[in-house]
Structure 1
Amino acid sequence: MLTEIEELYNFIHPLAIKAGEILLDGYEREEKQVDIKGAFYDVVTDYDNKIEEFLKGNILAKYPLHKFIGEEETAKNHNITMELTDAPTWIIDPIDGTSNFIKQIPHVCVSIGLSINKQIVLGVVNNPAQKKLYTAKLGQGAFCNGKPIHVSNCERVRDANVAYEVSLLHVHNMANKHIKRIYHVGLHARRMLAYSCVVDELCMVAAGNLDAFYIEEMYPWDCAAGSLLVREAGGVVKNPFGGPFDIMKPDLICAGTEELRLEIENLLRKADKEQSVGGGAVDMASSVSESKLKEYYDVALDLVIKCGAIFEEGYNKPKLEVMVKDAFFDFVTVYDRRIEETLITGLSSTFPESHFIGEESLAGSKQLPELTDAPTWIIDPIDGTTNYIHRLPHCGISLALTINKQLMLGIIYNPAANELFTARKGEGAYLNGKPIQASKATTIASAVVGNEVTLMNVPRWRDVCLKRAYKLGSHAAGTRCLASAAMSLAYVAKGTLDTYHVDYLKPWDVAAGVLLVREAGGVVHNTKGTEHEFNVMKPNLVAAGTDQLAQAVIELIKQADQIKDYIFA
Structure 2
Amino acid sequence: MSAEQLKEYLNTAIAIAKEVGPAFKDGFWRTGRFSADSAFAADDKLGNGADCVTEVDRYIEKTVFSRLREIYPTHKLVGEETTTECGNEYKVTNDPTWIVDPVDGTNNFVHHFQYTGISIGLAINKEPVVGVVYLPILDELYTAAHGQGAFMNGQPLPIIRPPVLTTPTSLAECSMVCEHGSDRSEKVMGSRLASFTRLLLDKKHGGGCIQNLRVLGAACPDITLVAKGVAECYWEIGPHAWDFAAAVIILTESGGAVFDGAGWWGSSIPESERTLKPHNIWNRRLIAVRFIPDLPGKPGSGRELQKQLAKDVLEIVEDIPYPPDGIH
Partner residue, 1:72: none
C-alpha displacement at 1:452, in angstroms?
Answer: 1.1
Partner residue, 1:252: none
Q: 1:494 aligns with which of 219, 222, 228?
A: 228
1:323 maps onto 2:43 in alignment: yes
The normalised TM-score by structure 1 is 0.46
C-alpha displacement at 1:531, in angstroms?
Answer: 4.4
User: Match of 1:413, SS?
Assistant: strand
Distance in 2, matches of 1:412 and 1:305, equals 10
C-alpha displacement at 1:540, in angstroms?
Answer: 0.5
Distance in 2, matches of 1:365 and 1:511, equals 20
Is 1:324–1:330's contact at 8 Å kept on the other side of the alignment?
A: yes
C-alpha displacement at 1:419, in angstroms?
Answer: 0.9
Kindly name which structure, 1 or 2, has the bigger radius of gyration based on alpha carbons: 1
Tell me: CA distance 1:386–1:295, structure 2 relative to 1, closer, same or farther (3 Å): same
Which runs of no fewer than 5 residues in structure 1 stay unpaired?
1-287, 562-569
Distance in 1, matches of 2:17 and 2:73, equals 18
Is 1:456–1:465's contact at 8 Å kept on the other side of the alignment?
A: no
Distance in 2, matches of 1:450 and 1:531, equals 20
Partner residue, 1:397: 118
Partner residue, 1:463: 190
Partner residue, 2:108: 387
Q: 1:510 aligns with which of 244, 249, 253?
A: 244
Is 1:455–1:465's contact at 8 Å kept on the other side of the alignment?
A: no
Higher relative contact order (CA 8 A, sep 6+): 2
CA RMSD of superposed structures (Å): 1.9
Q: 1:547 aligns with which of 301, 307, 325?
A: 307
C-alpha displacement at 1:548, in angstroms?
Answer: 2.5
Tell me: CA distance 1:458–1:470, structure 2 relative to 1, closer, same or farther (3 Å): same
Distance in 1, matches of 2:71 and 2:185, equals 40
Post-superposition CA distance 1:354-399 (Å, at most 9, x none): 1011001112333342321111000000010000001101111011
C-alpha displacement at 1:446, in angstroms?
Answer: 0.8
Which runs of no fewer than 5 residues in structure 2 stay unpaired?
202-208, 263-273, 291-305, 321-328
Partner residue, 2:214: 480
User: Match of 1:457, SS?
Assistant: coil
**Counterpart AA for 1:324:** D
Partner residue, 2:280: 535
User: Match of 2:223, SS?
Assistant: helix
Is 2:196–2:317's contact at 8 Å kept on the other side of the alignment?
A: no
**Counterpart AA for 1:534:** H
1:443 maps onto 2:177 in alignment: no
**Counterpart AA for 1:360:** E
Partner residue, 1:371: 92
Tell me: CA distance 1:323–1:349, structure 2 relative to 1, closer, same or farther (3 Å): same
Partner residue, 2:299: none
User: Match of 1:453, SS?
Assistant: coil
Is 2:147–2:253's contact at 8 Å kept on the other side of the alignment?
A: yes
**Counterpart AA for 1:399:** I
Aligned residues: 273
Moved over 6 A (4+): none
Distance in 2, matches of 1:418 and 1:381, equals 16
Distance in 2, matches of 1:442 and 1:518, equals 20
C-alpha displacement at 1:472, in angstroms?
Answer: 1.1
**Counterpart AA for 2:15:** D
Distance in 2, matches of 1:458 and 1:501, equals 20
User: Match of 1:417, SS?
Assistant: coil
Distance in 2, matches of 1:348 and 1:456, equals 33
**Counterpart AA for 2:95:** A
Distance in 2, matches of 1:305 and 1:428, equals 20
Partner residue, 1:265: none
**Counterpart AA for 2:309:** L
Partner residue, 2:138: 417
C-alpha displacement at 1:429, in angstroms?
Answer: 1.0
Partner residue, 1:228: none
The normalised TM-score by structure 2 is 0.79
Post-superposition CA distance 1:395-429 (Å, at most 9, x none): 11011001122211000000111111101011111
Tell me: CA distance 1:378–1:456, structure 2 relative to 1, closer, same or farther (3 Å): closer
C-alpha displacement at 1:296, in angstroms?
Answer: 1.1
Percent identity at matched positions? Answer: 32
Distance in 2, matches of 1:361 and 1:343, equals 12
Is 1:523–1:550's contact at 8 Å kept on the other side of the alignment?
A: no
C-alpha displacement at 1:442, in angstroms?
Answer: 3.4
**Counterpart AA for 2:287:** V
